[in-house]
Structure 1
């Protein structure tokens, strides 16, 4: 009965909310044995000339260097793509001013897989989805979706589940430090949660990543997101997710808890050294934090190989700050079985 109900609910999900599962094309792969990508959040400029910030410009420059030197098959854009109120239409000049004209390096002409943040939801998220039809690299097929990649010449698989955490938890007002107060439409939140659980439960990926805008754990201004602790956190542990990637807090963090890596990469446009929630995360889980203005911004580079995922945190002024290694999932011990 439960499976029947899930099937009915899954069938009812609007096509604009989730997207059919398919393997993504990595292009020429003859000699490759890994997948490499960058992840950056909260990168969305400002709504007045010159439509970018010094941090965004510096971070874009360093992203291009790292992508050229270390390789990047794609980029994860983790929300707050356009400050402060998203875009109003698919023809908004912000797409050019804050995206196309900023990330111009050849090494960044790769797919950008996008999710929406709270500032995007203050505008027209559907317009950002529609922009996928106008740009060769902007890939935002629906509010939430799944990406599958074959790790070249290894027989292994990487899955990334892209979530709309604002649809799941509700919007927040950064200017009065509001927390998400609950979803605008409970039916949409529940559909996404059912879809997510179904995707996690059936995943046989060797590396399983989940990405959204709000953090599960964070030591900074916004702190842990209670809604995600209740609705997402248990699923990440149960189904042995490799890592959760997000933005929202304007810094770089790495927190590891219950076998899951929590990556905050929200330093693409602003910086915030705030650590007011340092004691609100599990004891001993904090491995790395920086939000200092002297870094000029930041992002992460990840490489997924046959048996491990190497994550490196970069500052925009040109050096790596921290590196960690995550193991592939062990599906023989519970979780999916």
Structure 2
């Protein structure tokens, strides 16, 4: 099978432009050595390529520096704000497609911790439209790929603190359904969730830093769509692992201890 490389949103730039909040103390700039190179040092991670996307905290800092860091680290891959990767499935001549988005450029920034924290609309409507047009074209071109994964920072559907992102429900959800996308991968809410709606799997994996248990938007997602939720505050955190092979895209949610929390197998697309 094919193990999906790390897709992460590191947020290392300082938060000088973040909305002030007593829960978000401003901190001095930190280096990628402190937040990336000297953190992910396990033997299994040293040679793994990391494909990066930006979230709202990254945009509150310096995404340009993160893009430029691709030239300085052999495992850091951040070629553009949004980009496409073709993944081959070992033992077959089939392929999968990963489309990486910048949902902040698409929908705007948001205050994680303040009232009314939903994205307020793109700062550059023309750039947002260009990204959406790019995505439409890439989805159309991926019609022969066995699996198509789309990744962005903001969730489409979420039952947690931030809830669904209205902008993405309006703009992205119809495209995911129309093009039979296998799964949409995101973070932003600090827990682990799996939802399924309209034939699309929705993976929320935001429990790498801390874990938050709110399900305050449980009534805002389609009835029956939530299949799994993990938000135990005392947990050391967790992540989602995807494995692609000829038969299924298998999503496994793991706690940091290695405990398997939930697993689901998503079928290949009907080509």
TM-score by length of 2: 0.92
Q: Partner residue of 1:76?
A: 7
Q: Any unmatched runs of 5+ in structure 2? A: 18-28
- Distance in 1, matches of 2:165 and 2:234, equals 28
Distance in 1, Cα, partners of 2:53 & 2:100: 7
Whether 1:328 and 2:264 are equivalent positions in the alignment is no
Match of 1:120 among 39, 45, 58: 58
The C-alpha deviation readout for 1:196-227, integer Å capped at 9, x for no partner, is 00100121210000000000000000000000
Question: Whose RCO is larger (CA < 8 A, sep 6+)?
Answer: 1
Of Structure 1 and Structure 2, the greater helix share is in: 1
1:216 corresponds in structure 2 to 156
SS of aligned partner of 1:168: helix
Structure 2 CA distance, aligned partners of 1:308 and 1:185? 38
Q: Is the 8 A contact 1:216 1:228 kept in 2?
A: yes
- Residues 80 and 248 of structure 1 are in contact (CA less than 8 Å); yes or no, is this contact kept in structure 2? no
Partner of 2:133: 194
Q: Which runs of 5+ in 1 are unaligned?
A: 1-33, 38-73, 332-337
> Where do 1:123-162 residues align within 5 Å?
123-162=61-100
Match in the other structure for 2:38: 101
Deviations 1:40-93 (A, max 9, x none): xxxxxxxxxxxxxxxxxxxxxxxxxxxxxxxxxx2111x253376299xxxx64
User: What CA distance in whole angstroms lies between the structure 2 residues aligned with 1:219 and 1:316?
Assistant: 22
2:118 aligned with 1:179: yes
Tell me the C-alpha RMSD between the 2 structures. Answer: 1.5
Residue 218 of structure 2 corresponds to: 278
Q: SS at 1:174's partner residue? A: coil
Using the size of structure 1 for normalisation, the TM-score is 0.74
Cα shift at 1:155: 1.2
User: 1:314 aligned to 2:244?
Assistant: no
For 1:85, the equivalent position in structure 2 comes to: 15
Equivalent residue number for residue 106 of structure 2: 168
SS of the counterpart of 1:76? Answer: strand
Q: Point out the structure with max Rg over C-alpha.
A: 1
Secondary structure at the aligned position of 2:128 is classed as helix
SS for the counterpart of 1:183 is: coil
